[in-house]
Structure 1
Amino acid sequence: METKTASNRMLAIITLFDMHTSFLPKVVDGFSEKDAQNRLNTKANHVAWLTGSLVQGRCEVAGFLGIPLKQAADELFKMHKGIQDDVTYPSLESFKKDWEIVTPPLRTALLTVTDEQLDKRLEIPEMSMSYYDYISFLVYREANCIGQIALWRRLLGYPAMNYMP
């Protein structure tokens, strides 16, 4: 897979992005839709919300980089909306489909983003940071959410995530 980047700062980001791209389908593999919505009587984010939130993050970064894509469940996640009680979230298959749609054009954008674009300030409510910092945060957050889903696998009695191809 192509890893030549327009900005040297993006090389490690692309490596992690590619890992997360392959990890998400693996970490949700085998979940029942019922278990994907299970919070185990806590206020924790369930697997469906975590998965949709990951897709939303990629869609938002794509939008900032000029790729106007929205996931099917955009209304449930836009403006960094947290998990909502008494809402049945879409299926994991729906989220995986949107993940597969947003990932290729976003990857291309991350490969071609320039230092000048990365230094540009992103001004959104309650946040001000460079595009580079925001993209870095997104990739960090992806690892965090995938790890949470991996923990849910064990808490709900599923086997550990298989990292192998």
Structure 2
Amino acid sequence: MDKPKSEKLDIIIPAFRGHSQSFLMVLEGISEEDALKRIEGRTNHIIWMVGNFLDMRYAMGNVLGLSEEFKYKDFFFQGKALDESFSYPSLQDLIADFHSISPLVYQRLLQVTDDELSKAFPMGMNIDFFPEDVLNFVGMCIGREDYLCGQMGLMRRILGYDAMKYDFDLNMKY
């Protein structure tokens, strides 16, 4: 396993890589048509979930100093509500974007220092047990990714697909 400069990220590094794998495995075989389906008009569709996942990757990258901008942020920035009037990007376009941003964020996670992680990052939460700093923002992004993978897994089953397989690609280094 890659060793980050900051020991504070010892738990984040495997989570990030695990989420990368889960993201791809949960989407395996999902058709473009099914990726836009909603359940009884009450759920978000998989495309929205995928875009939200990517918004988290870009947010992590940005808070860690990367300048890459999510080209689809107008659809997904900060959990923007699903809008059925939008013509969302394709699942394949979003997956390609995932493969572009994820290695960059991963390398940055390996390089970030304790000083950088402890920098204030105001989130407006004003919760006394939650310091608003870069480290906790990264942790929140990781938590959100986990939540979104779970939602996509549930949608996968509801749409009639087999359960996600855990066929990890040990050659994928992000």
TM-score by length of 2: 0.87
Higher mean C-alpha deviation, range 82-91 or range 26-35 = 82-91
Structure 1: which amino acid aligns with 2:146?
A
Q: Deviations over 1:130-159 (max 9, x none)?
A: 111110111111111001100001100011
What is the CA–CA distance in structure 2 between the aligned matches of 1:146 and 1:37, rounded to whole Å? Answer: 16
Match of 2:144 among 141, 144, 149: 141
Tell me the CA shift for residue 123 of structure 1.
2.2
Percent identity of paired positions between Structure 1 and Structure 2: 30
Tell me the CA shift for residue 60 of structure 1.
1.4
Give the secondary-structure state (helix, strand or coil) at the position aligned to 1:122.
coil
Unaligned runs of 5+ in 1: none
Change in Cα spacing, 1:79 to 1:145, as seen in structure 2 (3 Å) is: closer
Contact 1:39 1:46 in 2 (8 A): yes
Change in Cα spacing, 1:127 to 1:85, as seen in structure 2 (3 Å) is: farther
Contact 2:52 2:77 in 1 (8 A): no
Contact 2:47 2:90 in 1 (8 A): yes
Matches within 5 A, 1:15-164: 15-124=14-123, 126-127=124-125, 129-164=132-167
> CA RMSD for the aligned pairs?
1.5
* Matched residue, 1:10: 9
Contact 1:53 1:77 in 2 (8 A): yes
Contact 2:36 2:45 in 1 (8 A): yes
What is the CA–CA distance in structure 1 between the aligned matches of 2:76 and 2:153, rounded to whole Å? Answer: 21
Give the secondary-structure state (helix, strand or coil) at the position aligned to 2:121.
strand
Contact 1:37 1:88 in 2 (8 A): no
Contact 1:3 1:11 in 2 (8 A): no
Give the secondary-structure state (helix, strand or coil) at the position aligned to 2:13.
helix
Give the secondary-structure state (helix, strand or coil) at the position aligned to 1:140.
helix
Q: 1 or 2, which has the higher helix percentage?
A: 1
TM-score by length of 1: 0.92
Give the paired residue count.
Answer: 163
Change in Cα spacing, 1:136 to 1:79, as seen in structure 2 (3 Å) is: closer
